[in-house]
Amino acid sequence: MINKTKTRSLLLLLFLVAGFASVLLLGLASRQGGTEQSSIVKSFPVFSAPELLNPQKVLTPDVFSQPYQLVNVWASWCGVCKREHSFLLDLQKQGVTIIGLNYRDKNSAAVQYLQQAGSPYQSIIYDPKGALALDLGVVGTPETYLVDREGQIIKKFSGELTLSAWQSSFSRYFIE
């Protein structure tokens, strides 16, 4: 009788652990794939922040000088950000304006990363404490926002920006 009880308890425990692991893995897999959040249409928060590569220069919303630009939230410690980096460099070469928002990062680590990997950014807002990101509603890195010249957020994409995500979410705004 004790063996049956132990066996049932062990099977129940294994079932619960397997279920928890499955839910956890599914959640992580869906986050890595990215999610589009359309029809945001809210204003980018008013801000005044140092430029990552030139801390004496202060950036404000007038950095949005193009009809449309991307704002990419990234950090040097973010593995997914590193995976999407080469795609951002390709977009920059195609003439897409990308503003970086360096999130909760050390200045020296971020600068070193960009020196090694290259910078796809026209300018980079340095947000070491995450205050601007919090106002923006950032959930995690990376996130990419489509912002118009007036500072209106048109779209938000969470996760790795890939060719597929670019084509379905953003490319139509940059076709001339």
- Per-residue pLDDT of the chain in tens (176 residues, 90 and over written 9): 567 676 665 555 555 545 454 443 444 444 445 665 554 569 999 999 999 999 999 999 999 999 999 999 999 999 999 999 999 999 999 999 999 999 999 999 999 999 999 999 999 999 999 999 999 999 999 999 999 999 999 999 999 999 999 999 999 999 86
SS3 (DSSP) at 161: coil
| pLDDT at 67 (0 to 100) | 97
Structure tokens given for 82: 């590193």
Q: How far is CA 41 from CA 63, 83, 125, 145, 152, in A?
A: 18, 28, 21, 11, 6
| pLDDT at 11 (0 to 100) | 54
Q: Kindly give, in sequence order, each residue whose CB lies less than 8 Å from that of residue 154, ignoring residues fewer than 6 positions away.
A: 40, 41, 68, 146, 147, 148, 173
SS3 (DSSP) at 148: strand
Q: Rg of the Cα trace of the chain?
A: 20
| pLDDT at 175 (0 to 100) | 84
Q: Kindly give, in sequence order, each residue whose CB lies less than 8 Å from that of residue 32, ignoring residues fewer than 6 positions away.
A: 80, 159, 160
| pLDDT at 163 (0 to 100) | 97
Q: Which of 153, 134, 162 is nearest to 70 (CA)?
A: 153
| pLDDT at 36 (0 to 100) | 59
Q: Which of 36, 56, 161 is nearest to 100 (CA)?
A: 161
